[in-house]
Amino acid sequence: MPMSSQATQLSWTDLGSALSDLTFVVVDLETTGGAAVDAGITEIGAVKVRGGEIIGEFTTLVNPGIPIPPFIASLTGINDSMVAASPNVHIAVSMFLEFSGECVFVAHNAPYDIGFLKGACAKFDLPWPNNRVIDTARIARLALHRDEVRNCKLGTLAKFFNTEIQPTHRAFDDARATTDVLHRLFERLGDYGVHTLEDLNAFTSRVSDVQRTKRHLADGLPAKPGVYIFQDPQGKSLYIGTSKNIRNRVRTYFTASENRRRMSEMINIAVRVTPIVCATILEAKIRELRLIVSEQPRYNRRSRAADTVSWLKLTVEPAPRIIITNTIKADVAQGARYIGPFTSRAAAQQAMSAINETVNLRTCTLKIATSPKSNIPGCVRAEIGKCAAPCTSDHDRDVYSLVVNSAAMCMSGDVRPVVQYITERMNKLSQEERFEEAAAWREALGHYVNASFRTYRLRWLSTQSEVVAAQPTIDGGWEIHVIRFGRLAAAGTVEPGFDPMPHIDALIATAEFIVPGLDPAPAGVTEETFDLLRWLETDGVRLVSVSTPAHMPIHCGGKETVQLSDIRRVVNERLSAVSDPGGYSRPEGKRSAMTRMVNF
């Protein structure tokens, strides 16, 4: 069932609102001056046009209810006697809004005219229709060069375009002149690739000249989910992103909504945008991650180092110890143990401290022979009884073997020894009011139990030869994903009303062959596997088939992870109240919070 090849009906939002298909109401007001909230309107003139043709006209004098200043009367020719028998502002504006309907408003210096109309609506409790607004003055400032017109006043533009009607400071004449100017400006905008209202909104946004001239990079992009890649003249990737609608997302880079300095710099360099259409949003996210890791685009900050993570490893050597490593080796069968991954080396260091403090494993970096010859311990930890000193010739090998076995158990899905020991230590420190030290051990314990739980979540999916799962879509279809050894192998969709099983069978048959990773790591980067795990745990996702049932050790840290998360929340709430408005501390409050923190 080749669903991906079926045609897709685009929405009107995807197609855009063509300027030639829209109905515009070009409006002009004469006023008494003053503030817009006073609604001192003396005349309204409007022209309704569509496709370059006039389809309606509206004009009326308005009684503003206040005297018209002499200088306004001399400028417009409208005096008090002329408007005495005219409709008041409430009636006139109501009539205009009825004439306008849902058309797009157009005005020259629109904030002024639209501001007075809004002021009238507010003053007389009329609903404002929120019609879209176009300002011909702003369009002219962007579409015309300074050497063409000295300014963008309506009279200047009317003369420049040699319009049939010239402005006279009367509303109807000025509205007709603005209509002619609008059509001439639309002709100019075609040279900039502006053909829809969405194009016009982007063109008139407060964006740099570089952003405006690069708008064409979004032309022809698909309105579908996937990945988009901004590239430089040499074809090197500058920035990689993902979206539910590639075309609409890329367009935003050329509007006022995009004001990040590094993105403006990137757009200045970019010469093309390459789309990669994906079947689902999850597939797009995974492809984005893989491309960022492989291409290392300079303007991406997230996920560039997704394949560089830290692990704790119990080594395989005569005197094993725990180290921090960035690589997984095929030595689990020989006794090595791994937990992780950690996103930072500091977090790995704290988790390692929690284990070493519990089991008294050696922490030195010496390479110890199978039969050491020295009789002198190499560190202070041995002298204070925190290490069995496997570096000495007379050390008790059986004792150190028990220590190593305890460490292996702590790294093999049983966090109880470490949790018990570190909790007791935190309680003691809390009773001694050494709260900062207790908090440090709490953080170390948190990194350890989180890593243990994370290891076994990761291991379950990484060792699955195949997981097939489906998620229902809003319209009644399905999104299907095939996962092999923790890596996405195939993705597809099933349209509403179709039997999903034939498509699932076809998807499985054509899915990518994946070579398993080294236990406990997945075949791909760990960030991809965790993205897949989060999707599998999303409400509504159903497992179609799995190679082995889901299972994890009962004491691998899941319960403790939740408990520590709750404790951290309580501590943050309590400690935020440690200082009262007077600014002095309350030790009782802090002690109560810390005591609560260290008790599971």
Phi, psi dihedral angles at 594 (to 5 degrees): -70, -35
162 and 22, same structural domain?
Answer: yes
Q: Output the domain CATH number for residue 176.
A: 3.30.420.10
406 and 260, same structural domain?
Answer: no
94 and 144, same structural domain?
Answer: yes
157 and 35, same structural domain?
Answer: yes
End position of a domain, from candidates 197, 229, 257: 197
- Both tokens of 233, joined, read 């003249």
List helix spans (H) across 360-396. Answer: 380-383
Residue 535 is assigned to a structural domain of this protein: yes
Q: Residue 122: which of 162, 152, 90 has the closest Cα?
A: 90
pLDDT tens-digit profile, the chain (600 residues): 334 434 344 433 344 678 888 999 999 999 998 888 888 999 999 999 999 899 999 999 999 999 999 888 888 899 999 999 999 999 999 999 999 999 999 999 999 999 999 999 999 999 999 889 999 998 998 888 777 888 999 999 999 999 999 999 899 999 999 999 999 999 988 877 788 887 787 777 766 667 777 888 988 999 999 999 999 998 999 999 999 999 989 988 887 666 677 888 898 899 999 999 999 999 999 999 999 999 999 899 888 777 788 999 999 998 899 999 998 999 998 999 999 999 889 999 999 999 999 998 888 887 887 777 777 766 777 777 778 778 887 777 888 889 999 999 999 989 999 999 999 999 999 898 888 899 899 999 999 999 999 999 999 999 999 999 999 999 899 999 999 999 999 999 999 999 999 999 999 999 999 999 998 889 989 999 999 999 999 989 999 999 988 778 888 887 777 776 666 565 555 545 444 433 333 333 333 333 333 333
Q: Residue 455: which of 443, 447, 467 has the closest Cα?
A: 447
Residue 5 is assigned to a structural domain of this protein: no
179 and 44, same structural domain?
Answer: yes
Residue 430 is assigned to a structural domain of this protein: no
138 and 114, same structural domain?
Answer: yes
Can you give the residue range of the structural domain that contains 253?
A: 207-295
Is 118:36 a contact under the CB 8 Å cutoff?
yes
143 and 35, same structural domain?
Answer: yes
End position of a domain, from candidates 371, 395, 412: 412
Angle made by CA atoms 421, 423, 429, in degrees to the nearest 5: 105
Q: Is 192 helix (H, G, I), strand (E, B) or coil?
A: helix
Residue 432 is assigned to a structural domain of this protein: no
180 and 227, same structural domain?
Answer: no
Residue 8: per-residue pLDDT = 40
Residue 95: per-residue pLDDT = 95
Residues 6+ apart with CB under 8 A from 572: none
Q: How far apart are the first and last CA of the chain?
A: 53
- Both tokens of 169, joined, read 């400071």
Q: Output the domain CATH number for residue 251.
A: 3.40.1440.10
Residue 259: per-residue pLDDT = 67
Residue 339 is assigned to a structural domain of this protein: yes
256 and 390, same structural domain?
Answer: no
152 and 37, same structural domain?
Answer: yes
| DSSP H or E stretch at residue 277 | strand 272-277
Is 465:484 a contact under the CB 8 Å cutoff?
yes
343 and 286, same structural domain?
Answer: no
End position of a domain, from candidates 171, 197, 223: 197
Residue 592: per-residue pLDDT = 36
Report the number of distinct structural domains present in the chain.
4
Predicted TM-score (pTM) of this structure: 0.63
Residue 551: per-residue pLDDT = 79
b (16+ CB within 10 A) / e for 46-71: bbbbeeeeeeeebbbbbbbeeebeee
CA dist., res. 322 & res. 516, Å (int): 25
Residue 492 is assigned to a structural domain of this protein: yes
CA dist., res. 191 & res. 194, Å (int): 7
| DSSP H or E stretch at residue 490 | strand 487-494
Residue 567 is assigned to a structural domain of this protein: no
| Strand duo 23-31 + 104-107: pairing | parallel
Residue 576 is assigned to a structural domain of this protein: no
One-letter identity of residue 141: R
- Could you give the dihedral angle defined by the CA atoms of residues 495, 500, 503 and 504, in that order, rounded to the nearest 10 degrees? 130
262 and 159, same structural domain?
Answer: no
